[in-house]
Amino acid sequence: MPSSDCVFCKIVAGEIPCRKIFENESLIAFDDITPMAPVHFLVVSKEHIATLDDAEPRHTELLGRMLATLARLAREKGVATEGYRQVINCGKAAGQVVPHLHMHALGGRPMRLMG
Ligand code: 5GP
Ligand code: ZN
């Protein structure tokens, strides 16, 4: 069920604009509004799943498609050769601020362990 006060549900529904990179029936990818690296985009499930901890066995294929899409888009953005980072923040202590499942891709600068 889409959540009416969820920013990513609104992006999925086209109610909030985004710089879209890719979309298919199960996911959407767009640039992060506050980039933490020269390349910083998000891969977001279309289904409202609050956190990775809320993913169920039926979401296994979706999770794989999200990760494989992230890898393909990172190649297309030219950061795969040098290397890039994938991040899924799960819950408050991890710093998750948007409670709708998403993966970050960060590249174009060297990364340290925590940032
Ligand atoms: P989290 O901390 O939940 O893993 O990351 C949420 C990310 O979503 C943040 O990096 C934040 O900049 C990004 N974000 C929040 N609201 C919007 C928005 O309206 N549009 C876009 N493109 N990114 C957003
Ligand atoms: Zn949502």
CATH classification of the domain holding 63: 3.30.428.10
Ligand lying nearest the CA atom of residue 40: 1
How confident is the model at residue 52, as a pLDDT? Answer: 98
Asked if the structure places residue 2 within a domain, the reply is no
pTM of structure: 0.97
Asked if the structure places residue 42 within a domain, the reply is yes
Expressed as residue numbers, the domain containing 93 is 7-107
Asked if the structure places residue 1 within a domain, the reply is no
How confident is the model at residue 95, as a pLDDT? Answer: 96
Instruction: Give me ligand 2 centre to Cα 66, in Å.
Output: 16
Residues sharing a CB contact under 8 Å with residue 74, sequence separation 6 or more, in sequence order: 39, 80, 84, 105, 107
Asked if the structure places residue 68 within a domain, the reply is yes
Confidence band (pLDDT; 50, 70, 90) for 49? Answer: very high
Domain count for the chain, please give it.
1
96 ligand 1 Cβ < 6 A: yes
102 is catalytic: yes
| Tens digits of residue pLDDT in 96-110 | 999 999 999 999 999
